[in-house]
């Protein structure tokens, strides 16, 4: 029969063994976790680098081809830089877009001030319909910016009045806007032979469907938006 001291020693030994096992299990888990995450991050960084290089090459090649395609008639004369190209058999399509943003400087604020003064004193009582239309075109969005489409519509009305304030305001709006290039985007499409519709070649992980076996033995596509 074990003495009280021997029993306590055995209990301490077992507790110490459990602690060592727990520490070892924790170390093994953290090692496997770090290897898994590190491996995937390294793959992701490589893929990111490849995709970045591919995007840069695609934009460069499309830029180089732009004038040639325009001269051939593949690009509309009204294009602002964005266009699509399709293969002769209709199977593949590449779309190239330049994403821009229109901004107005302080001259637009002065134009608005002059225009509202002119509208209040000269137009409101004489041509209520024109007053309402122009006032609506001057409305700003939630961001406090003018609506470029509305301002362009306003500029098209420049011959409607000959008052110096109107003429000056329209001229200031013309001079105050600048178009800034935000980003480039390139999209790739393959025509579905069954539906006849173009299907996007997805290059973003959340949008790429994957096939996984389910418990019922059927293959299901998951992971696509």
Q: What is the pLDDT of residues 63-120, one digit of tens each?
A: 899 888 888 888 876 666 689 999 999 999 999 988 888 888 999 999 999 888 888 8
In this structure, what token pair is assigned to residue 36? 């898994």
> Maximum distance among all alpha carbons in the chain?
116
Phi, psi of 125 (to 5 degrees): -85, -25
pTM score, whole prediction: 0.61
Percent of the chain with pLDDT over 70: 89
Q: Are 182 and 98 in contact (CB under 8 A)?
A: no
Nearest-Å Rg of the Cα atoms of the chain is 33
pLDDT of residue 211: 63
How much is the mean pLDDT over the chain?
Answer: 86
Q: Are 188 and 94 in contact (CB under 8 A)?
A: yes
The stretch 2-22 carries a mean pLDDT of: 85
CA distance 53 to 190: 22
pLDDT of residue 46: 95
Q: Which residues contact 68 (CB under 8 A, 6 or more apart)?
A: none
The vertex-98 CA angle with 92 and 101, nearest 5°, equals 150
């Amino acid at each position: 029969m074990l003495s009280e001291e021997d029993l306590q020693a055995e209990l301490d030994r077992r507790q110490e063994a459990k602690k060592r096992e727990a520490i070892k299990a924790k170390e093994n888990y953290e090692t496997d976790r770090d290897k898994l995450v590190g491996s995937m991050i390294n793959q992701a960084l490589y893929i990111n680098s490849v995709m970045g290089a591919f995007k840069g090459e695609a934009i460069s090649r499309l830029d180089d081809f732009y004038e040639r395609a325009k001269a051939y008639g593949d690009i509309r004369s009204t294009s602002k830089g964005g266009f699509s190209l399709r293969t002769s058999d209709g199977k593949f399509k590449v779309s190239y877009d330049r994403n821009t943003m229109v901004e107005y400087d302080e001259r637009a604020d002065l134009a608005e001030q002059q225009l509202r003064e002119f509208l209040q004193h000269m137009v409101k009582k004489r041509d209520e319909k024109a007053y309402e239309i122009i006032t609506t075109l001057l409305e700003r969005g939630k961001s406090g910016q003018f609506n470029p489409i509305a301002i362009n519509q306003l500029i098209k009305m420049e011959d409607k009045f000959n008052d110096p304030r109107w003429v000056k305001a329209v001229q200031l709006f013309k001079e105050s806007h600048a178009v800034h290039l935000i980003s480039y985007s390139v999209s790739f499409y393959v025509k579905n032979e069954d539906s006849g519709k173009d299907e996007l070649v997805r290059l973003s992980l959340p949008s790429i469907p994957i096939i996984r076996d389910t418990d019922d033995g059927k293959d299901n596509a998951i992971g696509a938006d």
